[in-house]
Amino acid sequence: MLVTKEFSFAMGHRLPNYDGLCRRNHGHEYLLHVTVKGEVSTSVGDPKEGMVVDFADLKTLVKDFIDKKLDHCSMIYEEDTILKNALLEVQEGKGVTVVPFIPTAENMAEWVFNNLSDLISDNLGVELYSVKLWETPTSYVEFKASEYKNN
């Protein structure tokens, strides 16, 4: 069975090689769906009887990751040295997530998946099935377990 929890966060980024407005540093209010896969517990008397995963446990785990790495942060490509150095200096390294890829929605969804996969399986005993990341209310990308590369 699949179980999904929704999260939102505000984050800035830029696409340094893009030939349009997204080349500028800008931000979005992102929406993230985290979907896990597992079996419904049939352990009689267990507090989680009838559940795949407790929504509260999933929320706590994922929200902690979002708060540390994404929410009210700037995601910067490590080769974008001008912006990276400026933000690291101005923000004293706080709220800056430096990544080895251009922070497109596609790359971000894969990165989020890779970062959450083991965290969820190790702590909640379910498999991360997919993440959907909305960059705007009408545009999202989805990364599924079948595409997992363990980067």
Per residue of the chain (151 residues), what is the pLDDT tens digit?
999 999 999 999 999 999 999 889 899 999 999 999 999 999 999 888 999 999 999 999 999 999 999 999 999 999 998 888 787 777 776 888 999 999 999 999 999 999 999 999 999 999 999 999 999 999 999 999 887 655 4
Total Cβ atoms within 10 A of residue 131:
28
What is the predicted pLDDT for the residue at 77?
Answer: 95
Q: What burial class does residue 8 get, using C-beta atoms within 10 Å of its C-beta: 0-12 exposed, 13-18 middle, 19+ buried?
A: exposed
Domain CATH code at residue 84 = 3.30.479.10
Sequence-distant (≥ 6) Cβ neighbours of residue 12 within 8 angstroms: 25, 26, 27, 28, 73, 74, 75
Residue range of the domain that includes 143: 2-147
What is the predicted pLDDT for the residue at 148?
Answer: 65
Sequence-distant (≥ 6) Cβ neighbours of residue 84 within 8 angstroms: 76, 77, 78, 96, 98
Domain count of the fold of the chain? 1
Show which residues are catalytic: 22, 72, 135
CB 58 within 8 A of CB 128: no
DSSP string of 9-23? Answer: EEEEE--TT-SSGGG
Global confidence as pTM: 0.91
